[in-house]
Structure 1
Amino acid sequence: MPYYAYKGRNPRGELVQGSIEANTADVVASQLMNTGVTPIDIVETEGEQSGQGNVLGRAFAKRPGLDDLILFSRQMYILMKSGVPITRAMSGLIQSTRNPYMVEALREVLADIESGHDLGNALGRHPAIFSTLFVSMIRVGENTGRLDEAFQRISQYLELEKDTRQRVKAALRYPLFVLAAIAIAIAIINIFVIPAFADLFGRADVELPWQTRLIMATSSFFVNYWPLLLLGVIGGIVGFRVYITTERGRYWWDKTKLELPLVGDIIKRAILGRFARAFAMALKSGVPLVQGLTVVARSVDNDYIAEHILGMRNGIERGESMTRTAAMTGQFTPLVLQMMAVGEETGEVDRLLAEVADYYEREVDYDIRNLSSTIEPVMIIAIGVMVLVLALGVFLPMWDMSKAI
């Protein structure tokens, strides 16, 4: 779309100017009027310079994350609740948003709305920014006339999602730093320390124990083949990242994450809590049961769990109850299944699913706060074994040398 440079007067009579990307000058005038600016002059500019600046801005900008979506949802909730028209609200957000990717997407959304599309369809054209759950909630809000409530629930859901992710990252930060320090220490010992002792032991007529021969062989391998080791590590990381972008690799990794020791069960319950929270929000907003399961399956960010959720959908389509289909997946605890059954009997599935989400989130929060204390003994044992092997490998030959002397 071309860019238009404009000059106008705000409600206080002050001169304002800038540039807007739009299809026609009439669209620019309409946007300015919606924001309270009276246009004086609108001239189409050469989009090359603006386009280059836009490209450079996007090159150094991050794609919209949870923070951007939370801020957007909060602002839209306030604007919709205040009765501001969608086009005027979107124009104002375009002027105040700082993320170039988000600005570009909102401009296209505004152009679609002005062309006659509804907000849900306009947002749905940007799946990289707005998830299926996000778009579905907006569509339901538009159909029911409760668009402000839809944005409010989305912002609350995204805030909980952000909080959970931050707690998981905070809990894993310390163990990852320790593992990185151990890896660096092992590399330094094998490349610089062990060769010095190996030269000393080589000049001594002492029979070396198996611990010493083991660490000397390991050190020799590190010293002679470290470029290949480094290349292999880099190639393995790149190959792994490429593999998990494929459909088969992503499914394998999503399933493997749930089976990891210590953290796998926490990840699984966090995903199930996310599913219960999103499903409860969808049902409370009026999304049909089968459609809600389809939408939520795409939003849990785990193909393995999504497959089981779609299995629940297929069972419900065959006429089975939600509790029975959930039990057949083998992913839910008996307490959660009992709460689902009560929800179906009382007709309050959305409220009971919210209770399920609270239950999982409390468990995840407790486990995350105790994760470091759970991992520390394992890491201490691993470090102790490594130090023991190094100590035996270095000091036993020195003890034999002292006896020989």
Structure 2
Amino acid sequence: MTADSKDEVTSALRRMRINPLSISESGSSGGSSLFKRKAKITEKDIVIFTRQFATMFNSGIPIVQGLDILSKQSENKAMAEVVGMIKADVETGMTLAEAMKKHPKYFDDLYVNLVAAGEAGGVLDDVLLRLAVYIEKTMKLKKKVKGAMIYPGIVISVAVLVIAIIMIFVIPIFAKIFTEMGAQLPAPTRSIIWLSNFLGGIGGLMTAGGFIVFVFLFKKYRATEGGKKKTDQMFLKLPVVGDLIRKVAIARFTRTLGTLLNSGVPILDGLDVCAKSSGNKVVEETVYKVRTEVSAGKTVAEPLSSSDIFPSMVVQMISVGESTGALDQMLIKIADFYDDEVDNAVANLTTMLEPMLMVFLGITIGYIVVALYLPIFKMGEVIGGK
């Protein structure tokens, strides 16, 4: 049996009236086990499941029957097993939201809260469709941000690789020639040869090891509460990149809260979900502060106005939405606007980084080439003088 944890296996077996004596995780002892890894459940799988389930429920198919059909039709075995476990839990008397809550890896607080609101309000099909749209929009937003990082990442990687090959393999050949000639080397050439010897020897290992240790320690630091907050604050203050992070955070917050409110989730619960799903410690603390102020009787716009994250335009639009009783619709409009703003920020980031990287690469390689050819030019002058 395949499951995310021993508890899930135990629950599934007990529903089949089987009391397990012991449960152990299967290892990779079998020769074919390497080819039988459990399939991963992606956001795309969740979107497909959500849309199909909404269509079935809207067509009058009961929840259990719909889950049964989806578990049998799913091409992803892992998804089929999860849906099958949800179906079994619903058959025992759980609500759909309660059954999904047992699988937080695939159905987060936002999903569960929306499904619970849909079940309570009798509009589960509408809520599921909103969820599918929300997940699709979120996926698109993530794709934009990742896309902005791919090109600079490739250029930097290629630049580092080219420079490393030149420093470790090409320059030693020139250094040997210069040594045999006994020529007096100029300062740029001596510096390049020294750096080549450093990187080609223990220095290269030290540099690589230092980088790996730095990345490891940075991840460890970010895993702490204080570390995550400090680094998130630092990222928000970065030029261009900080602006992109801020716009992504605003788009995510407004779309999440707008979708929750539009589906009937109470505002305090909605703010709680937004804080947990923000992905940024600074934004999370800001949203929790807003939740505290709202629970004390204030509007959402009031505490947001004192935040450094949300610009005055967003605060004013939220205030208008609250005063007109259409906060959910206003939040969705803000989210759509900031999705476009993220597009512009990504384009600006790419436009700015591309020439900077090219200039850096050109200067670096140009310096290396000039440093290598300076001794040759000097030798030519000496020979010409004779």
Alignment TM class, shorter chain as reference: 0.7 to 0.9
Q: What residue identity is the alignment partner of 1:308?
A: T
Instruction: Give 1:242 shift.
Output: 4.5
Alignment map for 1:39-118 (pairs within 5 Å): 60-118=37-95
- Assess if the C-alpha contact under 8 Å between 1:175 and 1:372 holds in 2: yes
Is contact 1:312–1:329 with CA below 8 Å preserved after alignment?
no
Structure with more contact order per residue of length (Cα contacts < 8 Å, sep ≥ 6): 2
- The answer to whether the Cα contact below 8 Å between 1:206 and 1:400 also exists between their aligned partners in 2 is no
d(CA) in 1 for partners of 2:297, 2:217: 44
How many residue pairs were aligned? 367
Larger strand proportion of the pair: 1
Deviation larger for 107-116 or 355-364: 107-116
Match of 1:340 among 312, 318, 342: 318
Q: Of 339, 345, 353, which residue of structure 2 is paired with 1:367?
A: 345
| CA drift at 1:332 | 1.2
- In structure 2, relative to structure 1, the CA distance for the partners of 1:313 and 1:107 (3 Å cut) is same
The equivalent residue for 2:106 is 129
**Alpha-carbon spacing, 1:262–1:200, altered in 2? closer, same or farther (3 Å):** farther
Identity of aligned residues (%): 32
How far, CA to CA, are the matches of 1:189 and 1:275 in structure 2?
47
Larger CA deviation: 312-321 vs 89-98? 312-321
Counterpart Cα distance in 1 of 2:35 and 2:254 = 35
Change (3 A) 1:160 1:123: same
> Would you say 1:288 and 2:251 are equivalent positions?
no
Amino acid in structure 2 at the alignment position of 1:325:
P
Identify unmatched segments of 5+ residues in structure 1. Answer: 3-20, 27-47
Partner of 2:5: none
RMSD after superposition = 2.9
CA deviations 1:356-391 (Å, max 9, x no partner) are: 111111111223244322221111221122123213
Matches within 5 A, 1:222-237: 222-225=199-202, 226-237=204-215
SS state of the match for residue 93, structure 2?
A: coil
TM-score under structure 1 length normalisation: 0.82
Return the TM-score normalized by structure 2. Answer: 0.86
Alignment of 1:6-405 (within 5 A): 60-225=37-202, 226-405=204-383
Q: Distance in 1 between matches of 2:125 and 2:372?
A: 70
CA contact (8 A) 2:262 2:328 kept: yes
Q: CA deviation at 1:187?
A: 0.9
The structural deviation recorded for 1:81 is: 0.6
The residue number in structure 2 matching 1:15 is none
TM-fit CA distance, 1:238: 4.2
Q: Give structure 2 stretches of 5+ with no counterpart.
A: 3-11, 18-22
- Give 1:24 deviation, angstroms: 6.0
